[in-house]
A and B are shown apart, each in its own frame.
Chain A
Amino acid sequence: MGVLRSGMRPLSSLILSNIVRYALLIIGGVICFVPLGWMLSTSLKMPGTEFIFPPNLIPRPVVWSNYIDAVTRPGHPFFLYTRNSVVITFLATLGTVLTSSFVAFGFARIRFRGRDFWFIVLLSTLMLPDVVRLIPSFILFKLLGWIDTLLPLIVPFWFGVNAFYVFLIRQYFRTIPLELDEAALMDGAAYVRIYWQVILPISGPVLGAVTIFSVLSHWNDFLGPLIYTNSVDLRTLALGLRFFMSRTGTDWNQLMAASILMLAPILVLFFSMQRYFIRGIHMTGFGGR
């Protein structure tokens, strides 16, 4: 229909309107890209030249040493920070995907008494601001002796605490025909098998979307590690970045290089799973925070 409409208009006005469209798209693109380009450019500048005003938009000369300096800073074990971030992100995401889908299976496919009530309770936790959970959780973890360990950043996610993911997966599970699991009187083990061998394998899109949301949120989390850990050995990348800044001055080149290194795996994930991601958002009509 759109083709028909534009087909009726003269060619010259079609070309003109396309030029306007591209011009607008490019203006928006420049606004989105300039800060990122600035980050990249700063990370490649010779130390010292980042303080020049007016600034050079293109680094001259291009140096890579900032990246090496950033990961070998004395007293700031970059690779250890990376390992901590990887461990937390991996274990928390694994727990999130497994338990959210397990719980979602119950809500989506078994008609038990009290189901609607608990589902509403689940949804209402979406409205709870994190800060309300923060203080009592801190006290709980303190009682458990978990402060200054990585446990508070991992264990809660093995209990399906993120209602949004449970909701997302449940919506998807409900689109799968029920015949499979209602056919016979079965015991619990059979149900678990259906969840594991029938439902999960055909739920790639939604599990992919949840994986991306979860990886992003754990990799980028700042407040959690800030509150629950103290030791240098337990710092995550998000926390570690802060120590490029000091009262005596900031190594902007190194800071930007470290930021790019932190961003790189996320970019790879984003580009390789972009399809799932977009579909995940379309599935519910909205995305995660």
Chain B
Amino acid sequence: MRRFLERHWYAYAMVLPVVVVIAVLVLYPLAQGVFFTFTNINEANIANPVLDRPATYEGVGFKNYLNVLSGDSSYGAFWGTLLRTLIWTFGCVFFHYTIGLGLALLLNREVKGRTLYRVLLILPWAVPAFISAFAWKYMFNAQYGIINQLLRAVGLPDPVWLGQSDWALFAVIVVNVWLGVPFMMVALLGGLQSIPGDLYEAAEMDGATPWQRFRNVTLPGLRSVSSTVILLGIIWTFNMFPVIYLIAGPNPNTRILVTYAFERFFSGASRDYAIASTYGVLILSVLLVFATVYRRALRKQGEVW
């Protein structure tokens, strides 16, 4: 034991602060959150230190999970919401990645004004998300928003973007794509710059077409960056709450799992913490399963390249 500590003490000393903070402020709340899912806790029966009121909630077993997983619409129509969350997540990440890769390829050429282009293209990342949300909400306004003014000017139909229709989902996806492309672009640009130039020269010597070079040099070279940023992108987008909440509000057409948990948490006098936590645990489970499958799939593919 003593030798063990002697060998590792500085490593642990460096890690300790983070472990303590994470344990106190994440793992403990997480455990409490999981515990809440087996109770009927809400605003009316939670312990209230200000009013000096003790907790009166009680355990209800798996009832919350059964209610949510039944897909009942008074519990947020879980399966429909899950489907919408998947459309939202994969839609956003697909465009983040393809547009980000496209722009990274353009920026990786020798082109005049490259630094300026790069600064302008990263700008959406630098603006705080709630500001961007206001900006887009303003632009998407059905009457005076600039988007509809342009559409009217060229004679196209001008939908009510943020109303009770699937246009609202489309609109928030557009906003989130705008927000998320710079991160992907920067990460992929770094990846592109780390691919050795002689690989391209060798491919060119062998008579590879531009498409073949892209397919057989660029994509494999980006593989490890891509796999990381796509996994992170999916996790972040799945739980992306401010964009939807600030732009569309509690609109059932843009409802994803996280926004519903938040609605349950904050809306009305009831403040159903139990159902909100149940959603939280289900979100965590879906992502854990996904991450496990993803890593395994990557490991298998790794032998192909």
- Same complex for A and B? Answer no
B interface list, Cβ under 8 A from A:
none
